[in-house]
Amino acid sequence: MVDGVAFSKGFNDGLTRRNSMPLLNLRFFPAKKMFWDMRAADLETQVLMPIQDLVEMGIPNLAELVAKLKTKAYYPELFNKAFGSADITEEKISKALSQFLRSMVALNSKYDQGFDNGHANLSVAEKAGLQKVIQLSCTECHSDFETHIAKNPIFLPFENSGENIFGFGTNNGLDLVYTDNGIGEKTNKPGDMATFKMPSLRNVELTAPYMHDGRFATLEQVLTHYQTGVKNHPNRGIQIPNNGYRAAISDQDKANIIAFLKTLTDGNIVTDPKFSNPFK
């Protein structure tokens, strides 16, 4: 679901500009937009863009992709099973790829299993970590209160958008000056500069490295950033105090939060043969 490196290697050994985002639970993302800067309107649009990217796959155009797939004996049969016709088109490729991505759902973590019993299955440390992320307002970004506050108010399967909808800013204080301004590069709005789509925390234990540039290799480093490394960017989210949480996050708190974050891991999807290499 992630490749484990800060920047992914393309077909000709070129490196991507940003860290590869996790692919889990994309079907639940309410804003539908894709990429760190949310430049793709939906999954159907997004899946075709890496194919034509000069660094990632470098296929000159989609017509050439269609022609290439038609030369593979197994693809016409597969398209016939999926669409009722062996004809291969750009639209069908888009639908097939996007539906495959939507099938990658992780909803059987220890956290999910505890919903029916008030999370009695969590350890003392895990419960303490859960309470701490609520106290620190982490759930305001990593959740969706508008739809589910009454039932499941925290760490739902989909992510917040990262868009500056209410004018409060969503920057997470990585730097004061950014060479990559994320959503702001697309919108050119001052309030969007240095803001990015917020990835889901589901299976976050398995999706290192973290942030849009993959600068943090571990969850410990991520929490240290929020503890003492926050820069006071003008678009910093209002949930994050000036200069970070500091005394509000002790070393024990960090350990508890990480223990809780690991309860969001659904290991079943990692070993599910449906998502293994079909060519092996």
Q: How far apart are CA 71 and CA 82, in angstroms?
A: 18
Strand partners, 210: 216
Length of the chain: 280
Residue 272 has pLDDT above 60, yes or no: yes
Q: Which positions ≥6 away from 181 have C-beta within 8 Å?
A: 192, 193, 194
Q: What is the pLDDT of residues 5-19, one digit of tens each?
A: 999 999 999 999 999
pTM exceeds cut of 0.85: yes
Residue 45 has pLDDT above 90, yes or no: yes
Q: Report pLDDT for 64.
A: 96
Q: What is the pLDDT of residues 142-170, one digit of tens each?
A: 864 333 334 454 555 556 788 888 788 89
Q: Report pLDDT for 72.
A: 95
Q: What is the pLDDT of residues 170-207, one digit of tens each?
A: 999 999 999 999 999 999 999 999 999 998 888 999 99
Q: Report pLDDT for 107.
A: 87
Q: What is the pLDDT of residues 26-35, one digit of tens each?
A: 988 888 999 9
Q: Which positions ≥6 away from 56 have C-beta within 8 Å?
A: 8, 10, 11, 16, 50
Radius of gyration of the chain (CA): 20
Range of lowest pLDDT (43-57, 154-168, 198-212, 219-233) = 154-168
Residue 76 has pLDDT above 60, yes or no: yes
